Chain A
């Protein structure tokens, strides 16, 4: 059965004008999100994950950002051609996004109930009573205990995990086709993280939402994702199914990320292999492969030109000269 592509990002390039010059934190990124599936975007801090998701939401350009090229197709329409008003109507209705800071993402002066009801006011014609009932139903869906009581409470009365549940309730209120979750559990305790992840999985199955799950934690990816793209300094350097990435990582960076994961089987404190070195500054990118300064396999050729994504199977691609050569041999 062919899987329907709901969201198609094609060669997206985003730049920012800063005091120190122009940077391109998203440099030709392509990926597809299939209906009802989860795509994980993985990468270290600063590699362009949030900029990519804000581009999809139509919130770039901000003050200094610009989409230089590419296309973002949702359900067959190019979102980059949408007007501001068209995009605003899509946001929160068809495409929603939650992000990292559950502690500060709710408005401190309104009750939880009012904030969820506001989403319906923005997107649906309904009476106050109906909005209230829908909001209450959403709180039940995200498994908040005592939802009637919580409706009347203010954000500061809720824990971080509860607030993130409220954020999830708000983002799913209008039953969007796509939910972008930008590190939704990073700020939470480990046990709460697991609960929120479980909740998101359940809701996704329930509602059939497509999810873009952004994280720097490959451990989480294994639990939630169907497909994975790995980003490094604005480029996608590897993509594949979750099986491809975990069983047969091709790119030295992906391998490094996997090696730095704690394995549940080792009980001894075997040293984790963190990738040495730092992400290069966007103001001062190396020539050729952007990973070369940290790469154990780097050769002279790596400094001369940038590797392109190459197919290893129908679903699996990576951008590395050495891997491609070894594979051909």
Chain B
């Protein structure tokens, strides 16, 4: 309770807390590197992964293009991984930016108003979770047509459920809190109570869930593409893993190794940062 921190906003304090841990900082940097690769990809500045750089299935050697070897067509595995990074990150963000607003809105309204609105939202997500996740995504993306966008819409239109439940439960708790009654007694309307009073108190959950959502979407993309629903042009980690089944038997291990390593770092980093965010943003834990 010292007054030294008086000028610090909650956000700045959370950031300071985050940066206190070395591992978190490293993982933060890893995420930023992946984000930059994705950004370069979006700007068309990544090397063309379709171009031949050598013979078919050259093992890894000490040149940049061939550091992870080449694939069946003599294309650079590294360049494919980079393109896959762009795909994965785009999917993560697209799915999250569909799921998070839906989850926040429905969760807030259901928890705050209760009654019929709550009944409807609970019914809606009960229906969604009663069908296995992958089946549901596959079904929706078949309806919308194959490809990355429809896969993202499919994942996003299901992915809000977890966050919605969380936010709803928090709203149920928070609407009984004294600070909400106090605001009501001062004349706050529903909009003010929902979005200005309660939501900022539970938003940390949305940020944490969003970081895990990116992670989940990346993993799901791999599985979906492996199952033949997702990205078809080979520029995704999923399609590379899918190709690897045949390659491994013939001793061509490097494309798979490349994907596993690339995926490992981003998944690990997202996990660590997600956990750190949880600790740093929880208002209850702010010292």
Contact = CB atoms under 8 A, between A and B. Distances in A.
Contacts of A93: 187
Interface residues of B, number: 26
Q: Chain A contact residues (Cβ within 8 angstroms of B): what range?
A: 20 to 34
Nearest to A171: B186
B187 A59 contact: no
B7 A104 contact: no
Contacts of A152: 6-7
B145 interface: no
Of B114, B187, B196, B201, most A-chain CB atoms within 10 Å: B187
Interface in A104-160: 104-110, 118-119, 122-123, 149, 152-154, 156-157
A47 interface: no
A99 B6 contact: no
Contacts of B192: 122
B189 interface: yes
A119 B186 CA distance: 7
Nearest to A121: B192
Contact of A156 (B1, B177, B181, B189): B1
B286 interface: yes
A109 B184 contact: no
A63 B185 CA distance: 17
A164 B36 CA distance: 49
A236 to B, nearest CB: 24
A154 B186 CA distance: 19
Contacts of A156: 1, 286
Contacts of A294: none
A99 B184 contact: no
Contact of A167 (B177, B182, B187): B182
A101 B3 contact: no
B185 A122 contact: no
Contact of B179 (A89, A91, A92, A105): A105
Contact of A108 (B6, B179, B183): B179
Given A105-B182, A108-B201, A88 B6 contact: no
B181 A92 contact: no
B184 A91 contact: yes
A122 B184 CA distance: 11
B197 interface: yes
Given A109-B201, A109-B283, A154 B10 contact: yes
Interface in A81-109: 88-93, 96-99, 101, 104-109
Interface in B168-206: 177-179, 181-189, 192, 196-197, 200-201
B182 A122 contact: no
Contacts of A119: 186-187
Contacts of B184: 59, 91
Contacts of B196: 118
A264 to B, nearest CB: 34
Given A92-B185, A92-B186, A105-B179, A63 B114 contact: yes
A221 interface: no
B182 A108 contact: no
Contacts of A230: none
A90 B188 CA distance: 11
Nearest to A103: B178
Contacts of B201: 107-109
A106 B6 contact: no
Contact of B183 (A89, A90, A96, A107): A107
Given A91-B186, A93-B187, 17 more contacts: A88-B189, A90-B187, A99-B181, A104-B177, A104-B179, A106-B179, A106-B182, A109-B10, A109-B201, A110-B200, A118-B186, A118-B188, A119-B186, A149-B3, A153-B3, A156-B286, A157-B5
26 contacts: A59-B184, A88-B189, A91-B184, A91-B185, A91-B186, A92-B188, A93-B187, A96-B186, A97-B185, A98-B185, A99-B181, A99-B182, A107-B197, A107-B200, A109-B200, A110-B200, A118-B183, A119-B186, A122-B188, A149-B3, A149-B6, A154-B10, A156-B1, A167-B182, A170-B182, A171-B186
